[in-house]
């Protein structure tokens, strides 16, 4: 590695205490990650969990849509992946998001099938940025949550 690792954090919730590092070196593929299971001694080369054709997901959630899998939100949709592996197949629900992926600031979900999935968007409502949507049917439909300031 020619450059200092730019981040160290737990790799993925379903991967335990693995650390991930990323370089700022422009000659290294953008989806390259350096992994360590023993506090940085040694590092192995991998890709980001949910990698889709060289692109790291903007967000990942675990088991939110069932089947014990993880889900990667990338610009072309939502993809299933397992462990720290690459994205495998697109979910139809990716086409049902209430806003384009580029307008999503964050995605949060429970880890149990059937728990709500929330997305925070860049939309502005009442002069405040950050409209929240929720799905309770695994992404088939999305409801905009009421503005707490209005209540």
Question: What does the alpha-carbon distance between residue 12 and residue 33 come to, in Å, rounded to a whole number?
Answer: 12
Residue 18 DSSP SS3: coil
Question: What does the alpha-carbon distance between residue 55 and residue 53 come to, in Å, rounded to a whole number?
Answer: 6
Q: Is residue 132 scored above 90 in pLDDT?
A: yes
Give percent of the chain above pLDDT 90: 25
Q: Where are the domains of the chain?
A: 1-47
Question: What does the alpha-carbon distance between residue 73 and residue 121 come to, in Å, rounded to a whole number?
Answer: 14
Per-residue pLDDT tens for 101-117?
Answer: 889 999 999 877 778 99
Question: Average pLDDT, whole number, for the chain?
Answer: 80
Q: Is residue 140 scored above 80 in pLDDT?
A: yes
Phi, psi dihedrals of residue 93, rounded to the nearest 5°: -65, -20
User: Higher pLDDT residue, 9 or 95?
Assistant: 95
């Amino acid at each position: 590695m020619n450059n200092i690792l730019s981040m160290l954090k737990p790799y993925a919730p379903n991967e335990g205490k693995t650390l991930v590092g990323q370089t700022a070196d422009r000659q290294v593929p953008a989806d390259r990650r350096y992994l360590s299971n023993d506090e940085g001694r040694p590092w192995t080369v991998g890709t980001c969990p949910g990698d889709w054709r060289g692109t790291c997901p903007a967000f990942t959630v675990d088991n939110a849509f069932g089947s014990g899998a993880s889900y990667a939100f990338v610009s072309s949709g939502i993809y299933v992946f397992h462990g720290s592996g690459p994205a495998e197949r697109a979910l139809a629900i990716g086409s049902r998001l209430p806003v384009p992926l580029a307008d999503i600031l964050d995605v949060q979900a429970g880890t149990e099938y059937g728990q709500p999935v929330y997305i925070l968007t860049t939309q502005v409502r009442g002069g405040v940025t950050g409209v929240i949507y929720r799905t309770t049917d695994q992404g088939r439909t999305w409801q905009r949550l009421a503005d707490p300031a209005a209540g």
